[in-house]
């Protein structure tokens, strides 16, 4: 059983639906698909440099999810923590599923946007297993 956790940090943008897809995917991951293996962390607290948050991220695995090419979550976490173990773009899942067009509404999110979030969450959950397996392998 892995002792380390994987912290998921979505970009939290609210200007477009892509930020919401990333956030929803993070919720699905930590609450359903990788429950007990992953937790959410708050990006503003990371950027603010809250010591207990930074220490926790340094000693565990970190996955970031971004919703636009500016990659705030990736860049901010890299700068504050010094590492990112894996990164996802919600726009990639949209490109990979061109038959599922996300609705632009954010509150509430549309059905297609939710479907895409689930697909993204499945990829993230798979990555969590990989990261934790590698960690266990490395410790043996």
Partner 1 sequence: MSTKPKIGIIACSGENLVGGTLSRAAARIVVEKLRPDKTVILCQPLFMAGGLERHGGAEERDFANTHPTITIEGCEEECARIAVDRYSGKPAATIYVEDIINAHPELKPKSKEDLGKDGMKLAEIIAEEIAEKVDELLNQN
Residues that bind partner 1 (CB under 8 A): 9-15, 19, 23, 26-27, 31, 40-45, 47-48, 50, 70-73, 75-76, 79-80, 106-107
**Shortest distance (Å) from residue 4 CB to partner 1:** 20
What is the SS3 assignment for the chain?
A: CCCCCEEEEECCCCCCHHHHHHHHHHHHHHHHHCCCCEEECCHHHHHHCCHHHHHHHHCCEEEEEECCCCCHHHHHHHHHHCCCCEEEEHHHHHHHCCCCCCCCCCCCCCHHHHHHHHHHHHHHHHHHHHHHHHHHHHHC
**Shortest distance (Å) from residue 1 CB to partner 1:** 25
Nearer to partner 1, 49 or 96 (CB): 49
Nearer to partner 1, 78 or 100 (CB): 78
């Amino acid at each position: 059983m892995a002792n380390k956790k994987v912290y998921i940090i979505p970009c939290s943008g609210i200007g477009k639906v892509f930020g919401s897809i990333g956030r929803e995917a993070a919720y699905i991951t930590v609450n359903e698909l990788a429950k007990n293996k992953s937790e959410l962390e708050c990006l503003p607290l990371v950027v603010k440099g809250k010591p207990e948050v930074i220490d926790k991220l340094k000693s565990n695995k970190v996955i970031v999810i971004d919703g636009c090419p500016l990659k705030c979550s990736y860049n901010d976490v890299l700068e504050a923590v010094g590492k990112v173990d894996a990164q996802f773009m919600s726009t990639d899942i949209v490109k990979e599923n061109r038959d599922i067009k996300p609705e632009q509404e954010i509150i509430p999110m549309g059905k297609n946007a939710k479907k895409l979030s689930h697909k993204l969450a499945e990829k993230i959950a798979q990555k969590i297993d990989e990261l934790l397996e590698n960690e266990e392998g490395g410790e043996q």
